[in-house]
Amino acid sequence: MSVFSKEKTINKVIEINTENILPNPAQPRKIMDSDELQSLAESIRYNGVLQPLTVRRMKDGLYELIAGERRLRAAKMIQLDVVPCIVVDTTGQQSALLSVLENLQRKDLTFFEEAMAYSALIRDWGITQEQAAVKLGKAQSTIANKLRLLRLTEAEQRLIIKNHLTERHARALLKLDDEAERQEALNTIIAKGLNVGQTEEYISRIVNPILKPRQEKVIVVKDVRLFINTVTKAVNIMQKAGVDAHAKQVEKDDYIEYIVTIPKQSRKPTPKLLAPSGA
């Protein structure tokens, strides 16, 4: 029988003692909102369990939970003795798969829990990412991107979920390979309340720091004679061009006074005299 085929069930709902229902070891859900769980418990108190849990029969009168983790926890919170269940005739391996699929379909897993569910499915069934994508009706890139999230440490994952950061925040952090650097970046993101765009820009600056422009070296010439010669040459060039410029150099005790006089109007060239026409 295919592991993804519909399982044969007992055609009636039976009540099972909550203490006889064991959690499923493949349960991907690790975090449950306490307020939502309390709200569900109050609803069950007044309305009962409207949707039966799904379990499989084990030895010694025990059952393993396949679907209904939140309902079971809520029932135990209000000390409910029994809950309605549908017993599925399935193996332990198939039970694990069904538990993963049931939780994935509910869309309320964190992105890390979803990644762990994919990882467990691939590991336990010995299938590839491509095969898992086909079975789950998802793109292979979606599976691959989710699995990459598990490169973050458990501590980092907890901080991300606790501070309500998004999957895109987590993906941006994956660009940092060094764990200490990543932890420091995560602390900064949380402290400054950076959004996704700001986080991606911040991580980009860490990964590709902007190179500081090279400062051009300025050569300082201490021999003032070079400057004086330069000014003198400039005055000579102006004089050759017809500018009646003059320079005066006066030696003082502590400095050299150099005065350059440049007229506002250039000197007009002297016109040449023409010889008499009868000559």
Rounded Cα distance, 89 and 208, in Å: 56
Full pLDDT tens readout for the chain, 279 residues: 444 444 444 557 889 999 999 988 767 666 677 888 888 889 999 999 988 998 988 888 899 888 888 899 999 999 999 999 999 887 776 776 777 777 676 656 789 988 988 888 888 778 899 988 887 788 899 999 999 999 999 999 999 999 999 999 999 999 999 999 999 999 999 999 999 999 999 999 999 887 454 555 555 555 667 777 787 888 788 778 777 877 787 777 777 777 888 887 655 555 554 555 544
Domain assignment present for 157: yes
Mark whether 123 and 174 lie in a shared domain: no
> In this predicted structure, what is the pLDDT of residue 15?
92
| Amino acid (one-letter) located at 87 | V
Mark whether 86 and 47 lie in a shared domain: yes
Domain assignment present for 90: yes
Structural domain for 36, as ranges: 7-108
**Residues near 188 by Cβ (< 8 Å), separated by ≥ 6?**
194, 202
Q: What is the CATH number of the domain that holds 102?
A: 3.90.1530.10
> In this predicted structure, what is the pLDDT of residue 216?
57
> In this predicted structure, what is the pLDDT of residue 5?
41
Rounded Cα distance, 76 and 47, in Å: 15
Mark whether 66 and 94 lie in a shared domain: yes
Mark whether 138 and 104 lie in a shared domain: no
Domain assignment present for 28: yes
Of residues 7, 42, 69, 181, which has the active-site annotation?
A: 69
> In this predicted structure, what is the pLDDT of residue 6?
41
> In this predicted structure, what is the pLDDT of residue 168?
95
User: What's the pTM?
Assistant: 0.56
> In this predicted structure, what is the pLDDT of residue 243?
78
Domain assignment present for 117: yes
> In this predicted structure, what is the pLDDT of residue 2?
44
Note whether 126 and 116 are within 8 A (CB). no
Mark whether 92 and 157 lie in a shared domain: no
Rounded Cα distance, 69 and 40, in Å: 12
Domain assignment present for 279: no
> In this predicted structure, what is the pLDDT of residue 3?
44
Mark whether 69 and 22 lie in a shared domain: yes
Rounded Cα distance, 264 and 266, in Å: 7
Domain assignment present for 72: yes
> In this predicted structure, what is the pLDDT of residue 166?
95
Mark whether 21 and 91 lie in a shared domain: yes
Mark whether 94 and 114 lie in a shared domain: no
Mark whether 194 and 257 lie in a shared domain: no
Token pair listed for 109: 């897993």
Number of structural domains found in the chain:
4
Note whether 51 and 71 are within 8 A (CB). yes
Query: Is 69 known to be catalytic?
Result: yes
> In this predicted structure, what is the pLDDT of residue 153?
95
Domain assignment present for 269: no
